[in-house]
């Protein structure tokens, strides 16, 4: 058992729990400023969480135990992502290497938990959100796995830490056309998976178009707090992964205190910067019709398929 990897995993989890609400705050603030609004300030998500935790959760009469368990499941799946991803340091806990296929399925546990919350509420709205959410998740999966496949080819392994380390050692891999195709596909898939524009509009409430928020409508109190925290953690962790795949420099490869501190600062800067960019980009995007999402997903699938075949034929 390598203890340094374990310690880094713990640091990652704690740090990302602190960072994730801040990321959402920054993204909302960037968006507000660009739209000419004052905005609620970057600490608002934190204040919301604190408020939700001290409220009594109200549950419907016919809701089941899932209303309580599923939010925790979503949060745990997001926390597990923070354990498995190489965010602060690129070392792996021996027995649970961050295998990309395992990571994707951990992500899917959260997806399923959220969908079940939506169904359990017993309203038309929740079911609608759940159904659309699952459809998008199902259609995104081929892109996601093929992008994983493409990323695994240069290193001949689907273990994330090895992939990131290879990119750190030979930066030429990052700029290869194959890797760029795979990254674009991966980013589109992640945007769909985390419910960002143009697939879902994270700032709408009570609109027929929404996916993610529709499933949370009936949750309240700490249930809602877990769902919100889980979703923002998922976004932060996935942005961190993309950042480290694109710009791996700064990630700790040894367990010295200095390396870890540099790793922490680097990942915080990368995630917040990427989040700010994403928010700025979203200002110029409109949500596409639900039934045009498959076209978007098909496009990203084509990119990832090209990435895989190209890496065999060119290399």
CB of 298 to another protein, least distance (A): 10
Q: Cβ 135 to another protein, closest distance in Å?
A: 5
Residue 60 makes contact with another protein by CB under 8 A = yes
Q: Give the residue with the Cβ less far from another protein, 93 or 279.
A: 93
Q: How many residues bind another protein (CB under 8 A)?
A: 81
Please list the residues that pair with 252 across neighbouring strands: 89
Give whichever of 42 and 100 is closer to another protein, judged by the CB atom: 100
Q: Whose Cβ is closer to another protein: residue 144's or residue 236's?
A: 144
User: Comparing C-alpha atoms, which of 225, 232, 152, 145 is closest to residue 194?
Assistant: 232
The distance of closest approach from Cβ of residue 142 to another protein in the complex, given in angstroms and rounded to an integer, is 4
Position 208 contacts another protein (CB under 8 A): no
Please select the residue that binds another protein; options are 5, 188, 217, 245, rule is CB under 8 A: 217
Go through 120-129 and write b for each residue having 16 or more CB atoms within 10 A of its CB, e for each that does not: bbeeebbbbb
Contacts of 258 (CB under 8 A, 6+ apart): none
Cβ of residue 64: shortest distance to another protein, in angstroms?
5
Report if residue 128 touches another protein, rule: CB under 8 A.
Answer: yes
CB of 247 to another protein, least distance (A): 25
- 99 touches another protein by CB under 8 A: yes
Select the span of 141-149, 190-198, 236-244, 257-265 touching another protein (CB under 8 A): 141-149
d(CA 223, CA 81): 20
| Distance in angstroms (rounded) separating the CA atoms of residues 13 and 75 | 12
Please say which residue, 6 or 247, places its beta carbon nearer to another protein. 6
Examine residue 35 and tell whether it contacts another protein (CB under 8 A). Answer: no
Closest CA to 233 of 71, 97, 81, 7: 81
Query: Within 144-203, which residues bind another protein (CB under 8 A)?
Result: 144-146, 149, 152-153, 156-159
Residue 303 and residue 181 in contact, taking contact as beta carbons nearer than 8 Å = yes
Residue 302 structure tokens: 């084509």
Min dist. Cβ of residue 260 to another protein (A): 19
Q: Does 242 bind another protein (CB under 8 A)?
A: no
Q: Is 89 helix (H, G, I), strand (E, B) or coil?
A: strand
Binding to another protein in span 37-56, by CB under 8 A: 53-56
Euclidean distance between CA atoms 194 and 204, whole angstroms = 15
Residue list 285-314, contact with another protein (CB under 8 A) = 290-291, 294, 301, 305, 308-309, 312-313
CA distance 308 to 247: 21
Chosen residue from 11, 19, 80, 235 binding another protein by CB under 8 A = 80
Distance separating alpha carbons of residues 238 and 84, to the nearest angstrom:
11
- Looking at 119, 184, 247, 288, which residue binds another protein (CB under 8 A)? 119
Structure tokens given for 172? 């030429």
Q: Does the footprint of another protein cover residue 109 (CB under 8 A)?
A: yes
For residue 231, state whether it binds another protein (rule: CB under 8 A): no
Of 182, 187, 188, the C-alpha closest to 303 is 182
Could you give the CA distance from residue 224 to residue 213 in angstroms, rounded to a whole number?
A: 11
User: Is the preceding peptide bond at 244 cis, omega within 30 degrees of 0?
Assistant: no
Question: Which one, 165 or 282, has the nearer CB to another protein?
Answer: 165
At residue 159, φ and ψ (nearest 5 deg) are -80, 125
């Amino acid at each position: 058992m390598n203890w340094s990897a374990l310690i880094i995993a713990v640091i990652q989890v704690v740090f990302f729990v602190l960072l994730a609400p801040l990321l959402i705050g920054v993204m909302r603030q960037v968006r507000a400023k660009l739209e000419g609004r004052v905005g609620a300030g970057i600490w608002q998500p934190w204040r919301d969480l604190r408020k939700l935790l001290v409220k009594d959760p109200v549950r419907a009469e016919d809701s089941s135990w899932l209303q309580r368990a599923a939010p925790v499941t979503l949060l745990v799946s997001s926390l597990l992502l923070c354990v498995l991803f190489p965010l602060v340091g690129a070392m792996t806990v021996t027995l649970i290497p961050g295998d990309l296929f395992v990571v994707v399925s951990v992500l899917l546990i959260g997806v399923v938990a959220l969908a079940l919350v939506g169904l359990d509420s017993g309203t038309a709205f929740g079911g609608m959100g759940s159904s659309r959410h699952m459809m998008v998740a199902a259609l995104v999966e081929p892109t996601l796995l093929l992008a994983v496949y493409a990323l695994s080819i240069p290193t001949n392994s689907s273990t994330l830490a090895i992939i990131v380390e290879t990119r750190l050692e030979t930066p030429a891999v990052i700029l290869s056309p194959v890797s760029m195709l795979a990254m674009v596909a991966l980013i589109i898939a992640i945007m769909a998976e985390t419910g960002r524009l143009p697939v879902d509009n994270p700032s709408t409430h009570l609109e027929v178009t929404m996916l993610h928020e529709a499933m949370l409508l009936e949750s309240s109190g700490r249930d809602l707090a877990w769902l919100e925290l889980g979703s923002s953690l998922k976004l932060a962790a996935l942005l961190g992964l993309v950042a480290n795949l694109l710009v791996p420099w700064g990630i700790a490869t040894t367990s010295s205190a200095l390396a870890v501190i540099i790793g922490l600062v680097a990942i915080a800067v990368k995630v917040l910067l990427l989040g700010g960019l994403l928010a700025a980009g979203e200002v110029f995007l409109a949500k596409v019709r639900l039934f045009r999402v498959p076209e978007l997903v098909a496009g990203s699938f084509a990119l990832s398929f090209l990435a895989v075949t190209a890496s065999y034929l060119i290399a």
